[in-house]
């Protein structure tokens, strides 16, 4: 029995254009494609974070987030004609944030990313989440997106931040805080 050949390229994108799931042909620098690329990067960062963790609760949460993000991407790329972000996604995240907050205790801002390896990779995912949020806001200005999408991606950075703090606590790392406001200006 022979193996079939699967083409993983079409050459249609060689001139800087691509097809969207809604059937439009657009340049690769349009807001929707910029969003899609950043979303792809975010899902990959979350996958990398997930394999760095040894805690089942965080791995499970990140797996749910990856699925949610695929649905969010499909909803936007198909203009709402495909699968959609689940309605309870934001409230689910708020519940998970509350759970991690109970574990962490008082949260002081601004935390300098680092500490444990797990927290460091989670902080990278949080930073990419913020960029994905900016791309989504940019897209929303051009073509309105479901407001739930904006809420979800905003809440996601908070969830990942809480997970990073919990990871450091579980590994017994003390957070390094950036002093704010600037202590040098208090006496001036």
Q: What is the CATH number of the domain that holds 111?
A: 1.20.1200.10
Higher pLDDT, 109 or 34: 34
Q: How many independent structural domains does the chain possess? A: 1
What average pLDDT does this structure show over 37-66?
97
Query: 187 falls in which pLDDT band (50, 70, 90)?
Result: low
SS3 26: strand
In a domain? residue 99: yes
Token readout for 107 is 């949260």
- Judge whether residue 2 has pLDDT over 60: no
In a domain? residue 74: yes
In a domain? residue 127: yes
In a domain? residue 71: yes
Q: Is residue 72 a contact partner of residue 149, using CB atoms and an 8 Å limit? A: yes
pTM for the complete prediction?
A: 0.88
Region of 16 on the Ramachandran plot (φ > 0 left; ψ -120 to 50 alpha; else beta): left
Neighbours of 82 (CB within 10 A): 14
- Judge whether residue 4 has pLDDT over 70: no
In a domain? residue 103: yes
Query: Which burial class, exposed, middle or buried, applies to 100 when counting CB atoms under 10 A from its CB (0-12, 13-18, 19+)?
Result: buried
Domain that holds residue 78: 28-181
- Partnered with residue 111 across adjacent β-strands are 177
In a domain? residue 149: yes
Q: CA–CA separation, 43 vs 37, rounded Å?
A: 10
Indicate the DSSP class of residue 62: H
Residues 6+ apart with CB under 8 A from 164: 111, 113, 118, 119, 120, 122, 123, 126
């Amino acid at each position: 029995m022979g193996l079939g050949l699967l083409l993983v390229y079409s050459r249609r994108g060689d001139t800087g254009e691509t097809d969207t799931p809604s059937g439009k042909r657009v340049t690769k620098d349009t807001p929707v494609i910029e969003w899609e690329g950043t979303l792809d990067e975010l899902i990959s960062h979350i996958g990398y974070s997930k394999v760095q963790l040894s805690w089942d609760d965080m791995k499970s949460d990140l797996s749910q987030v990856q699925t949610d993000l695929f649905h969010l991407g499909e909803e936007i790329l198909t203009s709402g004609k495909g699968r959609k972000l689940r309605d309870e996604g934001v409230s689910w995240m708020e519940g998970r944030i509350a759970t991690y907050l109970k574990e962490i205790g008082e949260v002081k801002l601004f935390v300098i990313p680092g500490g444990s390896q797990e927290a460091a990779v989670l902080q990278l995912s949080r930073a990419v989440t913020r960029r994905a949020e900016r791309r989504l806001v940019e897209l929303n200005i051009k073509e309105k997106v479901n407001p739930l999408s904006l809420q979800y991606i905003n809440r996601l950075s908070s969830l990942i931040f809480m997970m990073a703090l919990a990871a450091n606590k579980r590994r017994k790392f003390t957070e390094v805080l950036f002093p704010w406001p600037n202590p040098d200006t208090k006496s001036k």
